[in-house]
Amino acid sequence: MIFELTVLGSSSALPTSTKFPSAHVLNIHERFFLIDCGEGTQIQLRKAKIRFGKLNHIFISHLHGDHVFGLFGILSTFQLLGRKSPLHLYAPSGIESLIRFYEDHFGADDAYPVILHSISGRKVQMLFEDKMTEVLGFPLKHRVPAYGFLFREKKRPLNIRKEVLTKYDLSVKQIREIKEGKDILTDSGEVIPNTGLTEPPYRQRSYAYCSDTMIYEKNISLLHQVDLLYHEATFLHKDQKLAKLTGHSTAKQAAIFAKKAQAGKLLIGHFSSRYKKLDELLQEACSEFPDAESVEELKTYRIDPVRIVRE
């Protein structure tokens, strides 16, 4: 029941000697989702000891170089490793010509399929779902079409307490109903409330990625009470004009956004390379939202499973 984020790259457009461009990888129950793919992502993945074979879904926020230049290398490495399973790539419309270029110049005839999920429009949209997880794409506000991503666990069936199965002679239908939250009526006419039959459920964990973007208030309700929020904070608030001009946020703005969304924790990054004292960006954020942290590359941020306390 793992739900953990590993930050692979945290720089803004200009990487430094210690910071790679944007890339995050989210592990939900051993399914790995790569979010953005700046230059060097594959090298960082190796450092983080994440197996390439476990990576089947890549989400790209927007088509600026510092978020996509690592794609070519990773596509090529998959090929060299003999990948056969499909790779799903979710990215703003326009990704088609990048992939066509790659395939024309560096692809192989026997390559694994790359399945493109092109994103457009200004609506929140379900990009991926399986039994346990869903991923929503939502519009950001940048110089080019850009999307944020909300990853969250789905509501899971309740777990029946071990002793219940031995105590009662349950039918398949009853077991299904208990898992759905229903009470049962025994043959003797007794009603057993569901809370006596099942373990308290786990809270549904969530992670949201917002980069690159100015503050976009419309997303506050969608991200209400998100456990972990990554929001870019390219500039200090004294440079807010520059932030606006370039379609970015300040640390203060990111923190106010997190406060309004009642996020559990805020991660900031994508700092402009103009700042030498990065502490100032974090201080600025913390003054508005104390549970803020500057992302560190190759650090893992884990959200532990928490059972909901029943009244």
- Known catalytic residues are 66
> Which amino acid does the sequence have at 80?
L
Q: How far is the CB of 281 from its own copies (least distance, A)?
A: 20
Query: Reduced to 3 states, what is the DSSP secondary structure of residue 13?
Result: coil
Nearer to its own copies, 44 or 206 (CB): 44
Strand positions, DSSP E, 122-205: 125-129, 133-139, 147-153, 184-185, 191-192
Nearer to its own copies, 50 or 132 (CB): 50
Nearer to its own copies, 63 or 192 (CB): 63
Nearer to its own copies, 19 or 205 (CB): 19
Q: How far is the CB of 43 from its own copies (least distance, A)?
A: 5
Record the tokens describing residue 74, joined without a space: 């990773």
Whether 249 contacts 234, CB under 8 Å: yes
Chain residues in the site for its own copies (CB under 8 A): 13-17, 20-21, 39-40, 42-43, 46-47, 49, 63-66, 69-70, 72-73, 76-77, 80-81, 97-98, 101, 105-106
In whole angstroms, give the CA distance from residue 25 to residue 9: 10
Run of H or E including 34: strand 31-35
Nearest to 60 by CA among 80, 34, 25: 34
In whole angstroms, give the CA distance from residue 32 to residue 52: 9
Q: How far is the CB of 99 from its own copies (least distance, A)?
A: 12
Q: How far is the CB of 62 from its own copies (least distance, A)?
A: 12
Run of H or E including 292: strand 292-294
In whole angstroms, give the CA distance from residue 75 to residue 246: 30
